[in-house]
Amino acid sequence: MIVCVCKGVRCSRVRAVIGDGATTVDSVGAACGAGTDCGSCRGMIEDMIEEALEDGAMARVDGRGRTHLHVAQPAA
């Protein structure tokens, strides 16, 4: 499913970016472009970040102090 029509970014890409540590809408946009044009998808991206955090995402901090989240993928 496409989350960001303007940039053609799929749900799976946004989840991957969140899993790599993007925990704000702006950081998701910086990583994949989602939410950086008209902005109408920003609420959906924010919901995806909140869901990932609420669903017990496993966080770890790497050697550079960056946070990485393991985000469970929904069943197909």
The span of 3-11, 17-25, 53-61, 66-74 binding ligand FES (CB under 6 A) equals 3-11
- Per CB under 6 A, 37 contacts ligand FES: yes
- Per CB under 6 A, 43 contacts ligand FES: no
60: its two tokens: 């770890």
Residues 6 or more apart whose CB falls under 8 angstroms from that of 57 comprise 19, 69, 70, 71, 72
Number of residues counted as binding ligand FES (CB under 6 A): 12
User: Measured over all CA atoms, what is the biggest interatomic distance in the chain, rounded to whole angstroms?
Assistant: 36
Which residues in this chain contact ligand FES in the complex, by CB under 6 A?
A: 4-7, 34-41
